[in-house]
Structure 1
Amino acid sequence: MTIDITKFNSCRILVVGDLMIDEYVWGTVDRISPEAPVQIVSVDREDYTLGGAGNVVNNLAALGAEVSVAGVIGTGTDGDRVLEKVELLNADTAGIIREPKRPTTRKTRIIAANQHVLRIDRETGRDISKTTFNALKSFVSRKIPETDVVLISDYGKGLITIPFIRYILNTAKKYGKLTIADPKGLDFSKYSGVSLLTPNQKEAGLASGIEIKDKTGIIKAGNKLLKTTGIKNLLITCGQNGMILFEQGHEPHTIKAEARQVFDVSGAGDTVLSVFGLSIASGFLFKEAAALANTAAGIVVGKLGTATVSQKELLSALKRFS
């Protein structure tokens, strides 16, 4: 595949989604607690990275895109961390709304001897306030006309409500902009009208009500979702088995994954959303975009923690296949 990745540098992407902070607590284990049959982790260091939609922004910035962000955070320290890290990526943060009394989602992962031993979540799933909703609508309406592609990163934390997603999609349609969403939940009709939906295999199986055991099951689930949800295009990610792209009027297209050692799948879906959206913004076909996203996901799962892929890494991987 001959791909000019330098086109990424001129792309303008709007990311709308649930912003999070990922905390990594690194340590060692050499004994069991006398209080309970659990390991004692002696902490060596703590790191903070962007998670959720923030990881989508991080991936896009690492690949050279111009990014604008719409989301909600709290007013505490974790919110400060999110805002600071997004600003360091030179992204437009005018659409990040700070909502009083709302916690910023934080996922704490305890890592000992390079093993993920525990995760602690601090979050809320309640809907955003009316004031926040109106502020986000105002920002989205200003940004979409000057954006190439809109990416929706839904983690079910109360931001991507049905009224908000309808507003986003209607505005995008008005200006002829493509929308790509990474879904959450069982009812994919919520995303009716998006240009492409990117569920993983488990999500597709649950949403379709079809138990997926093999490729035949994935194809049945994908075809059912196309028929019942109002979605025209679907990219189902299948982990080590690659991806399957469904486009209405076409046979399902399989993209095989390269065999590689997997250290951590955290954030792989964010990478798929980022690279697919960036590829579409660069003028590539859906099949080409899926192949690029598949390659990028293969790179990040070989890294520990929520990671990004650079243009250099992606170009190097593509050369191995050419």
Structure 2
Amino acid sequence: MLPPLLEKIARAKVLVVGDAMLDRYWYGDVERISPEAPVPVVAVKEAKELPGGAANVARNVRKLGAACTLFSISGDDREADSLEQLLDKDDIHCRLERDKLVNTTVKLRVVSKHLHQQMLRIDFDSPVSKDARVKLLDNYLKHLPEYDAVIVSDYGKGGLSNIQEMIQAARAVSRPVVIDPKGDDYSGYRGANLITPNRKEFEQVAGRFRDDADLERRAVKLIQDLDLGGILVTRGEKGMSLVQKGGRALHIPARAQEVFDVTGAGDTVIAAIGCAWAVGSGLEDALQLANIAAGIVVGKLGAATASPAEILHELSLQEG
């Protein structure tokens, strides 16, 4: 039952650790094609900044009602200042390990307001230093027991090279760990309670699957090889597929609705599951919460969140 679950989540404390970034949006109108090249000309009318990556996961956690802290690595720059200010406005405690040798990761999206369409994305990345990674791990190990659950948001930016130590430390104090994975090698996630790849990410590691039964077989092998509690594969319009240790599988259809923007939907899913597990929820209720919340955010433009009020409203529509 989701109403009692949402009430419990309001008393939870969730730790998010991972690759935080700053999302910049430039909104404008597209009315002509450039004479210099066959590309649309966007006349920018509005600019906006939002927390991105692991910071967007933290934002989703807080919106669901749980207290949230974010541990991440950033540059020592204006973008890091902006990120901290944005998170502070959302009442999210933020500990950034600032590295003077790198730039804070920024994703710039150019969006046509008229077309409700993303026209271009530009990424600004730089490598993370070993010193910053060690400081992040030390801070994590020191404060881990203060939280009810851990969400690891890996965007492959290099800040999580010590992820195995993080998982083992969480297991030692009986804290569930949910991971949004990246890359073609999942060995670093060994021992996690749940990983949440999308279909493309899962197939990159486990191989292309033909049908649900084939997905389940491949997931079971990966679970056994990496001592995982389970794998949740998010499959876009086909919903989500959960395979647990022991082979139990659950396939959840997506909610039928208009999709404006899938940006950050995976962040919403992992935030919902982490919040639910922080208060001892069963996995089926956690997945129902995640599915409804994700359905709400893809109906919005840009990286968005779903509030308890929106979730309860959507639930009432489904039950009505």
TM-score, normalised relative to structure 2: 0.95
Equivalent pair of 1:21/1:106 in contact (CA under 8 Å): yes
Q: How big is the shift at 1:296?
A: 0.7
| SS class of match (2:10) | helix
Asked whether the equivalents of residues 13 and 67 of structure 1 are also in contact (C-alpha less than 8 Å), the reply is yes
Please tell me whether residue 29 in structure 1 is matched to residue 26 in structure 2: no
Shift of 1:45: 0.7
AA aligned to 2:297 is: V
Alignment partner, residue 116 of structure 1 = 118
Q: Where do 1:239-278 residues align within 5 Å?
A: 239-278=236-275
Instruction: Deviation per CA, 1:127-176: give whole Å up to 9, x if none.
Output: x3232123212211222111000000000001111xx1122112212211
- Look up the SS of the partner of 1:108 in the other structure: strand
Distance 2:250 2:138 in 1: 38
The answer to whether the 8 A contact 2:2-2:289 is kept is no
Q: Per the alignment, do residues 232 and 283 of structure 1 end up closer, same or farther by CA in structure 2, a change over 3 Å counting?
A: closer
Give 1:238 shift.
Answer: 1.0
Matches within 5 A, 1:90-101: 90-93=91-94, 95-101=95-101
**Secondary structure in structure 1 of the residue aligned to 2:281:** coil
Q: Distance in 2 between matches of 1:59 and 1:19?
A: 13
1:14-163 to 2 correspondence within 5 Å? 14-93=15-94, 95-112=95-112, 113=114, 114-124=116-126, 126=127, 128-161=128-161
* Long gaps (5+) in structure 2: none
Contact 1:14 1:143 in 2 (8 A): no
Change in 2 beyond 3 A, CA 1:2/1:81? closer
**Is 1:205–1:218's contact at 8 Å kept on the other side of the alignment?**
no
Residues 2 and 295 (structure 1 numbering): CA distance in 2 closer, same or farther, change over 3 Å? closer
Structure 2 distance, partners of 1:32, 1:240, is 32
Aligned-pair identity (%): 38
Q: How many angstroms does 1:194 deviate by?
A: 0.6
Shift of 1:302: 0.5
Q: Write out per-residue CA displacement over residues 261-288 of structure 1, whole angstroms, 9 at most, x where no aligned residue.
A: 0000000000001001001112211121
Moved more, 49-58 or 221-230: 221-230
- Correspondence 1:107-256 to 2 at 5 A: 107-112=107-112, 113=114, 114-124=116-126, 126=127, 128-161=128-161, 164-209=162-207, 211-256=208-253
Structure 1: tracts of 5 or more residues without a match? none
The separation in 1 between residues aligned to 2:294 and 2:250, in whole angstroms, is: 18
1:281 paired residue number: 278
Tell me the SS of whatever aligns to 2:41.
Answer: strand
Whole-angstrom distance in 2 between the partners of 1:249 and 1:214: 19
Per-residue deviation at 1:180? 0.6
Match of 2:9 in 1: 8
TM-score with structure 1 length normalisation?
0.94
Matched length = 316
Instruction: Give the match's secondary structure for 1:118.
Output: strand
Contact 2:133–2:160 at 8 Å: present in 1 too? no
Return the offset for 1:78.
1.3
Q: Secondary structure at the match of 1:10?
A: coil
Are 1:245 and 1:287, in contact at CA under 8 Å, matched by a contact in 2?
A: no
| Shift of residue 254, structure 1, vs aligned partner | 1.3
With over 3 angstroms needed to count, the CA separation of the structure-2 counterparts of 1:69 and 1:316, relative to structure 1, is: same
Find the aligned partners of 1:214 and 1:228 in 2 and give their Cα distance: 21
Q: Name the amino acid aligned to 1:153.
A: S
Measured after TM superposition, the shift of residue 62 of structure 1 is 1.1
CA RMSD of aligned residues (A): 1.4
Partner of 2:192: helix, strand, or coil? coil
Structure 1 pair 2–282 and aligned structure 2 pair: CA distance change class (3 A): same
Partners of 2:211 and 2:172 in 1: how far apart?
A: 40
Question: How far apart in 2 are the matches of 1:228 and 1:45?
Answer: 49
The CA deviation at 1:213 is: 4.5
